[in-house]
Structure 1
Amino acid sequence: MPLRRAKALTVVVVATLIAAGLPLHAQQVIVQRGNQTQVVEPQRDNRPFLMRLFGWGEQQPAQPPPGARVIKVPPPGQQQRKAARPPAAVVKPQNPKNDDARVVLVIGDRLAADLGRGLDVAYADRPDVRIETKTVDEAGLAATGDMDWKAFLEKRLTDKPRPTAVVAMIGRADGRPIELPDRTVDFPTPDWETIYKARLNELTRVARERAVPLLWVGLVPVASQQATNDVTYIDGVIRDEAAEKGATYIDVWEPFSQNGAFVASGPDLDGQVRQLRLKDGVGFTRSGARKLAFYVQQSLGPALNVADHTANLMQQVSGDGPVLVLNDPAASGEDKLIAATDLAPPKPGTVLHRLVIEGLPLEPVAGRFDAAALK
C-alpha cells in the first residue's frame, strides 16, 4: 500500500473512533487503600474493530475492592494541555495619586458614600485629584449623636492636606424630630425648619472662614412614598437656604426621577438604560453613582482647575482682617474703604481729566485698531 494512502486511512480510522465516542488513550486507575497505592492499568480490548465500533460484546470494567478510593488519572496528552492553559489576567492597579494632589472631601450619609465612589471613578485618571470620603449611613443634621458635622469639619479643615473643596450630601435620614436639651422639636414644623437652617449655615460658615468652597448636593427620591415626601421637604429647605446664602446647590432630583417620583432604572452617562438604584430603593448602583458624580463634576471644575498660585492664596485668605491689594506687595492693610472725599480730582488738560471729567474719548493712536475704527 502506498505511504500516502496509508496515512489517509489512518486519519479516517482515528476520525471514526472519535465519532463513535471511543477513547484514543485509556485512563489509568489508581486504587488507594490506607497508605498503600496501586496503579491498575486498563484491560486491553481484544474485540474486532467492528464490534468495538458498534459497541458489541462490550465488557464491564472490573470493580475496585470495597473501601478503596479510586482516583482517575487523565492521559498524559490531556495533562499537558491542561498545564499549558494561559494564566489568569492580571488586574490593573489604579493610577497612583500625586503627593500634592488636591483633596475633595465628601461628607454626608449613605447617599454621600455612593457619591464618593462615583467621584473616585470619575477622577481615577487624574493623579492631581484625590477623593476623601467621610460618611455615616444614618447621620444628618437633625441629630448629632452619630456625627457632629460642624465639629468634624472644623477639625478636618485645620489638618493637612487641607481640602480644596467640600461636597456635602446630607438629609436623607433627617425626617425626624430634633432633640434639644430642654425640648423636642417635631418634624416638620416652623421651629424645626429654623433650627435645621441654622445648622446648615454653621457648616457653610466653617467652610467660608477657611476659604474652602462648600457644595451642597440635593437629595433624590427613594422607593418609599412617605420617605420621598420627607426628602422632598428637606431638599426644598436646603435649596432655599443655599440660594439665600449664595452657596452652590447642585440639583440632581430630575436625573433620578420620572415625573418627580422614584425610578429604579434610567439612562446612564452613555445613554444606555441601566439599573441606577439598588433593590432597597435607596442606594445607587455603580452606574447610578457614576451618573450622580457627573453632575457634581460640573461644579467642581472651577475649584480644581484654578491656578496653583491662586489656590495657595485662597488657602491663606480668611473672612476676617483687613483687605489687601494682592497686586501691590508694598501696600499696607487698611480698616476702611476709600471714599470719594479721599480722591484728588484730576488736573485739567490731563488724559484722566478728559476721560473722567469731560467725558470725551481718548485720542486715537496712529497705527492702532481704534485709530482706523474712529475715522
Structure 2
Amino acid sequence: MFRRCASLSTVVILAAVWLATPASAQFFKTQPQPPQQQQTDNRPFLMRLFGLGRQEQQVAPPSVGPRIIKVPPAGQQRKAAPAPAAVVKPQNPKQDDARVVLVIGDRLAADLGRGLDVAFADRPDVRVETKTIDDAGLASTEDIDWKAFLEKRLADKPRPAAVVAMIGRADGRPIELPDRVVDFPSADWETIYKARLNELMRVTREHVVPFQWVGLVPVASPQATNDVTYIDGVIRDEASEKGATYIDVWEPFSQNGAFVASGPDLDGQVRQLRLKDGIGFTRSGARKLAFYVQQSLGAALNVAAPTANLMQQVSGGGLVMLLNDPGAAGEDKLITAADLTQPKPGTPLHRLVVEGLPLEPVPGRYDATALR
C-alpha cells in the first residue's frame, strides 16, 4: 500500500512538471534564447512548484534596424511658444512746456544728444532737441549754414533754454571763398574760422539764450587727431575770449593726450567708450560725454518757472545776467533803471553807493579801533 501511494505521488509531480512546461518545448527542440534579465519570483514554494499564480508577461521583441519617428505634417506641427517680451521701463512723458536743450553739430554732437536724452529721461520738464549732420562744420556751408539755422530756430517757439554745440571734427580742410581757397591750417584760415564762431555766439546773445561749446576729443587716426587738436584750441580760445562757456572733455576720453577706446564709465567700470571706427561713442561713452554737459546746464535749467518764462520774453542786444531768481519774490518783470530809487544825500547808503566812501566806524566795534 505504501509503495502504491509513493508511485501515485511521483506520477502527480511528473504531471505537474509536464503541464508547467511550454507546449513548444514538449514536442519540438527549442532554439536557444538570448539571456534576459532575471526577475525575482515572490510566490510560495507550492505555487511555484505547480506553476500557479503566474501571469504571462509580454516581452517586446528587440528593435531591429533604424528607429522611425512619425513627424506630423507642416500644417499640424506645434508652434514654439513665443518668448516673453522684454520689460521696458516707461520713460516719464515730457511736459508741454518743457524747457528745450538744442544740440547742434556733427556726428559727435549726435552721440551727445543721445546721451543727454538718457541723462534727462527722468526730468519731464526738460526736452532735448538735436540738429546734427555727420560731417557738417564751420569750414564749409554746403551741408548747412549754422548761422542761418540758429537765426530761424531761435525765432520760433518754444525758444530753447540753452544751445549746446559740438562742431569741428570734420573741419580740418580748406575754406572755399567766392574768390579764393584758404588752406588749412594757416593764419587766414584761423581768422575766418573765428569769425564764423563769433557769428554763432552773436546770434545766441541777441536772443538771450545761453550758449555752450563742447570741446573736441581725439580720434583713432593720428593725423586727424592733430587736426582736431588745433581746431579745439581755436574754439577754446575764442569761446573764452567772448565769454561763452567752454566744456573741456579731452582728458576724460584720452590717455596721455592720445586716443583710447576704453576707459572708466560713470560708475567707474572700465568699458568701451568709443566705436570700432575710432570716431563715434558707444552708449556708455555718450552717457559719460553728456554727464559733463549736464553739469554745466544746471544753471540754465534749474531756475524757477516764472524766471524761465520771463527770460523767454526778453529780446534785444546785450547779454542778460541773472543775479538772483525774481520768481522767489513774486516779481513778474525785470528791474530797470526807472525802478531804482536814489538814496538821500547824507545817508550812509548815499555815502557808500554814490560818494564811494567807506561807512563811518561805529564806537565799540572792531573796525572803530585803528590797527597799529
TM-score (norm 2): 0.71
User: Quick one: which amino acid aligns to residue 117 of structure 2?
Assistant: D
Deviation at 1:316, TM superposition (A): 2.6
Kindly indicate whether the alpha-carbon contact (under 8 Å) linking 1:175 and 1:231 is maintained by their aligned counterparts in 2: yes
Find the partner of 2:169 among 167, 172, 175: 172
Question: What is the correspondence of 1:88-167 to structure 2 with a 5 Å cutoff?
Answer: 88-167=85-164
1:260 aligns with 2:266: no
1:354–1:360 Cα contact (<8 Å) kept: no
SS at match of 2:297: helix
**What does residue 303 of structure 1 align with?**
300
Contact 2:310 2:333 in 1 (8 A): no
Alignment match, 2:232: 235
Label 1:358 to 1:295 Cα distance change in 2 as closer, same or farther (>3 A): closer
2:63 equivalent in structure 1: 57
- CA deviation after TM superposition for structure 1 residue 312, in Å: 2.4
| Paired residue type of 1:57 | S
Match of 1:224 in 2: 221
Per the TM alignment, residue 192 of structure 1 is displaced from its structure 2 partner at its CA by 0.3
2:111/2:280 contact within 8 Å kept: yes
Post-superposition offset of 1:225: 0.5
More strand by share: 1
Aligned AA (2:104): I
User: Matched residues in 1 for 2:285 and 2:155: separation?
Assistant: 33
The residue correspondences of 1:293-332 to structure 2 (distance < 5 A) are 293-320=290-317
Residue identity matched to 2:179: D
The AA in structure 2 aligned to 1:346 is: P
How many angstroms apart in 2 are the aligned matches of 1:330 and 1:98? 26
SS at match of 1:196: helix
Structure-2 change in CA distance of 1:262 and 1:62 (3 Å) = closer
Match of 1:22 in 2: none
CA distance in 2 between counterparts of 1:299 and 1:90 reads 33
Once the two structures are overlaid, the 10-residue window that deviates more, 304-313 or 223-232, is 304-313
Q: Distance in 2 between matches of 1:153 and 1:293?
A: 22
Distance 1:306 1:173, change over 3 A: same
1:274 aligns with 2:271: yes
Residue type at the aligned position of 1:246? G
Q: Cα 1:62–1:141, aligned 2, differ >3 Å: closer, same or farther?
A: closer
| Alignment-mate amino acid for residue 63 of structure 2 | G
Residue type at the aligned position of 1:125: D
How far 1:91 sits from its partner (Å)? 2.8
The answer (yes or no) to whether the contact 2:343–2:349 under 8 Å persists in 1 is: no
Contact 1:219 1:253 in 2 (8 A): yes
Deviations 1:154-194 (A, max 9, x none): 00001111100000000000000001011110000000000
Shift of 1:344: 8.4
| Structure 2: segments with no counterpart, 5+ residues | 1-56, 321-325
After superposition, the Cα gap between the structure-2 partners of 1:153 and 1:191, relative to the gap in structure 1 and judged at 3 Å, is: same
In structure 2, what residue type is equivalent to 1:244?
E
Q: 1:220 to 1:48 in 2, by over 3 A?
A: same
Q: CA RMSD in A?
A: 3.6
Structure 1 spans left out of the alignment, 5+ residues: 1-45, 365-369
- Matched with 1:360 is 360
- Change in 2 beyond 3 A, CA 1:187/1:61: same
Equivalent residue number for residue 48 of structure 1: 59
Contact 2:205 2:317 in 1 (8 A): no
Q: Aligned equivalents of 1:161 and 1:294: distance in 2?
A: 25
Distance 1:328 1:260, change over 3 A: closer
| 1:238-290 Cα deviation digits (max 9, x unpaired) | 00001111110000000000000000000000011101000000000000000
Deviations 1:313-369 (A, max 9, x none): 322333439x9xx979798767xxx9xxxx78723xx555787768314689xxxxx
* Cα separation, partners in 2 of 1:72 and 1:199, compared to 1, 3 Å: closer
Q: Secondary structure at the match of 1:266?
A: strand
| Contact persistence 1:114–1:284 (CA under 8 A) | yes
Asked if 2 retains the 8 angstrom alpha-carbon contact of 1:105 and 1:163, the reply is: yes
The number of residues matched between the two structures is 298
- Cα–Cα, structure 1 residues 103 and 352, in superposed 2: closer, same or farther, change >3 Å? closer
Go from structure 1 to structure 2 and tell me whether the alpha carbon gap of 1:112 and 1:69 turns closer, same or farther (over 3 Å shift). same
Change beyond 3 A, Cα 1:117–1:307 = same
Identity, % of aligned pairs?
A: 74
Q: CA deviation at 1:63?
A: 9.0
Which residue pairs with 1:15 in the alignment?
none
Aligned to 1:346: 345
- In 2, Cα distance between equivalents of 1:344 and 1:63: 105
Counterpart CA distance in 1 for 2:149 and 2:75 is: 64
Q: Does structure 2 conserve the Cα–Cα contact (< 8 Å) formed by 1:351 and 1:362?
A: no
Deviation at 1:206, TM superposition (A): 0.2
Distance 1:360 1:259, change over 3 A: same
Secondary structure of 1:157 counterpart: helix
Alpha-carbon distance in structure 2 between the residues aligned to 1:199 and 1:245:
13
Q: 2:211 aligns with which of 196, 199, 214?
A: 214
Q: Over alpha carbons, which structure has the higher Rg?
A: 2
Partner of 1:4: none
- Cα deviation per residue 1:122-141 (whole Å; 9 max; x = unaligned)? 00011000000000000000
Q: 1:71 to 1:226 in 2, by over 3 A?
A: same
Kept in 2: contact 1:354–1:361 (CA 8 A): no
